[in-house]
Chains A and B, each alone.
Chain A
Amino acid sequence: MELKAIEKLLNKYLEGETSLKDEAVLRTYFTQESRIPEAWIPYRQFFGYCKEAKKETFPVKQNKQTKPIKSWMLVAASIALVFALQLSGLFEQKAAPFEKQQAELAFQQFQTQMKTVSNHLNRGAQKVAYLDYWNDTTQKLIK
Chain B
Amino acid sequence: MQLTADRSFFNQIEEIRNKIFRITKRILVSQEEAEDATQEVIVKLWQMDESKRNGFKSLEAYSVTMAKNYCLDRLKSKQAQNLSLDERYSGSVSDSLTKKIEQRDDLNWVGKLIDELPEKERMIIQLREIEQYDFDEIASILNLPEGTIRVYLSRIRKKLRKQFLDIQNHGIKSN
Q: Do A and B come from one complex?
A: yes
CA distance in complex: A9, B151 (Å): 17
- Which residues of chain A are near B154, meaning CB under 8 Å? 14-17
CA distance in complex: A54, B23 (Å): 10
CA distance in complex: A42, B149 (Å): 23
- Contact check, A57 vs B21: say whether CB atoms are below 8 A apart: yes
- Contact check, B107 vs A58: say whether CB atoms are below 8 A apart: no
Q: How many residues of A contact B (CB 8 A)?
A: 23
Q: Dominant SS at the B interface?
A: helix
Q: Dominant SS at the A interface?
A: helix
- B38 at the A interface (CB under 8 A): yes
- Contact check, A45 vs B107: say whether CB atoms are below 8 A apart: yes
Digitize B131-175: 1 where CB-to-A-CB distance is under 8 Å, 0 elsewhere: 110100000000000000111111001101100110010000000
Which residue of B is nearest A12, CB measured?
Answer: B154
- Which residues of chain A are near B83, meaning CB under 8 Å? none
- Which residues of chain B are near A56, meaning CB under 8 Å? 18, 21-22, 25
Question: Contacts A13-B157, A16-B153, A53-B22 known; A23 to B132 CB distance under 8 Å?
Answer: yes
Which residue of A is nearest B24, CB measured?
Answer: A58
Which residue of B is nearest A58, CB measured?
Answer: B21
Question: Contacts A14-B161, A42-B161, A46-B160 known; A58 to B111 CB distance under 8 Å?
Answer: no
Number of A-B contacts (CB under 8 A): 62
- Contact check, A58 vs B164: say whether CB atoms are below 8 A apart: no
CA distance in complex: A46, B160 (Å): 9
CA distance in complex: A43, B17 (Å): 29
Question: Contacts A46-B160, A49-B107 known; A54 to B22 CB distance under 8 Å?
Answer: yes
A4-27 contacts to B, CB under 8 A, are 13-17, 20, 23-24
Which residue of A is nearest B132, CB measured?
Answer: A20
- Which residues of chain B are near A59, meaning CB under 8 Å? 35
- Which residues of chain A are near B117, meaning CB under 8 Å? none
Digitize A47-83: 1 where CB-to-B-CB distance is under 8 Å, 0 elsewhere: 0111011101111000000000000000000000000
6 extra interface residue pairs, beta carbon distance < 8 Å, beyond A49-B110, A50-B129: A16-B153, A48-B110, A53-B130, A54-B22, A56-B18, A59-B35
26 CB-based A-B contacts, threshold 8 Å: A13-B157, A14-B154, A14-B161, A15-B154, A16-B150, A16-B151, A16-B154, A17-B150, A23-B129, A24-B132, A41-B168, A42-B161, A45-B107, A46-B129, A46-B160, A46-B164, A48-B107, A49-B111, A53-B22, A54-B22, A54-B130, A56-B25, A58-B18, A58-B21, A58-B35, A59-B35
